[in-house]
Amino acid sequence: MAELAGKAFPWAPGTATGIGSMPGGDPLEAARTVAGELPDFPYLAELPGRGPGADMIGRAAALLVDIPAEVTPRGWRIAERPGRDLRRAASMLSSDLDAMEEVLDGYAGLVKIQVCGPWTLAATLEQPRSLTAALADPGLVADLASSLAEGAARHAAEVAKRVPRATLVVQFDEPALPAVAAGAVPTASGLSRVRAVEEEVLRSRLNEVLAATGRYTIVHCCSRGCPFGIITGAGADAVSFDLRLLRRDDYDELAATAEAGAGLLAGAISFDYPERRGVTPTDTARTVQVAWRTIALPAARCAPQVVVTPACGLAAASPAQAREALRWCREAARILPEMMEELG
């Protein structure tokens, strides 16, 4: 465990992890790959290639309490009653948990699980008997957030029971959060946009879900314009983001987030990055170093505070690319502490 100015991080300096999704359809193979390449910070792999129910929204739908959902040609929609789509989603999640439990038997380190965040869920899940996103109905959004909070807490408790010696970290995926905040989520017709949600409401709903698990929490946003202030204002302990998408103005928010002591999961490579000739894990570590120098904080703070990750999920990668990307992150993370020490 790393500590910085009284702020403890659950990971040690020089740690790497993944985002969540992996290629293929074999939970046991995915679990073995993750645990083998990320022995200090493995995660519960998501395998969306298996189809509806294994995707981010489908997995969240399986966790919702008293709000059933179903698959339509457009995606997931709130339903009147539970059906085979939810049973399939729950079955695949159970298979993923079984594989993780088998591979991590006796494991006593960090483990991360991922859950779709309330705003991305509301922006994606359609209202019952409608093509309109749940996001357009504030009352429904409130119900979704409460249901997801209860479901995420149950999920975290189930994982803790299966891997009892592990320290659990919970990541909430919010790729749609910038669009929700900006009023950029399209309506069903595509001719207009759902009205922007006020920041106070964004923070409140997100906080409800984050607080429910009682664990160290991360919010992952791999979209341009990651709203660092909203995420930390909602009570997240750490922010996961794509370094390549940071614009000049984003570095001010990143600096404030780092200075406040939040953990940072820096997405430093895409899955095809390791295959580029002449590029090494040292170069990836240097990408993190350059970003840290840009925010002008003491070099000694970087390694304890930063975890190196891929830029986003690896579902689109080949199994070999995914394995290589995780190994690459692990090696880059190992190099980072010494690299930052040289800066003084």
The domain limits of the chain are 2-343
Of the candidates 175, 80, 81, the one whose C-alpha atom is nearest the C-alpha of residue 130 is 80
**Count of Cβ atoms closer than 10 Å to residue 29 Cβ:** 17
φ, ψ dihedrals at 296, nearest 5°? 60, 40
Q: Which residue has the higher pLDDT, 271 or 223?
A: 223
- pLDDT tens for 161-172 read 999 999 999 999
Q: Which pLDDT score, from 0 to 100, does residue 39 have?
A: 97
- pLDDT tens for 238-249 read 999 999 999 999
Token pair for 106: 């006796």
d(CA 289, CA 189): 45
Q: Spelled out in words, what is the top-level CATH class assigned to the domain 2-343? A: alpha beta
pLDDT at residue 216 greater than cutoff 60: yes
pTM of the predicted protein model: 0.95
Side chain identity at residue 104, one-letter code = L
pLDDT at residue 4 greater than cutoff 70: no
d(CA 344, CA 339): 9
Non-local (6+) Cβ contacts of 57 within 8 A are: 75, 76, 116, 121, 124, 125
pLDDT at residue 42 greater than cutoff 80: yes
pLDDT at residue 264 greater than cutoff 80: yes
Please classify residue 150 by burial: count the beta carbons closer than 10 Å to its beta carbon, then call 0-12 exposed, 13-18 middle and 19+ buried.
Answer: middle
Supply the mean pLDDT for the chain.
Answer: 94
pLDDT at residue 3 greater than cutoff 60: no
Q: Which pLDDT score, from 0 to 100, does residue 274 have?
A: 67
Query: Under DSSP, is residue 119 helix (H, G, I), strand (E, B) or coil?
Result: helix
Q: Which pLDDT score, from 0 to 100, does residue 342 have?
A: 80
Query: Under DSSP, is residue 49 helix (H, G, I), strand (E, B) or coil?
Result: helix
Q: Which pLDDT score, from 0 to 100, does residue 1 have?
A: 66
Of the candidates 110, 111, 122, 108, the one whose C-alpha atom is nearest the C-alpha of residue 175 is 122
- Looking at the chain, the whole-number percentage of residues with pLDDT higher than 90 is 90
User: How far, CA to CA in Å, does 205 sit from each of 35, 159, 210, 253?
Assistant: 33, 24, 9, 21
Please, are residues 261 and 267 in contact by the beta-carbon 8 Å criterion?
Answer: no
- pLDDT tens for 178-190 read 999 999 999 887 7
Token pair for 219: 């919010």
Q: Which pLDDT score, from 0 to 100, does residue 271 have?
A: 76
pLDDT at residue 205 greater than cutoff 90: yes
Please state the rounded mean pLDDT for residues 66-85: 94
- Looking at the chain, the whole-number percentage of residues with pLDDT higher than 70 is 96
d(CA 266, CA 268): 6
Q: Which pLDDT score, from 0 to 100, does residue 131 have?
A: 87
d(CA 26, CA 110): 23
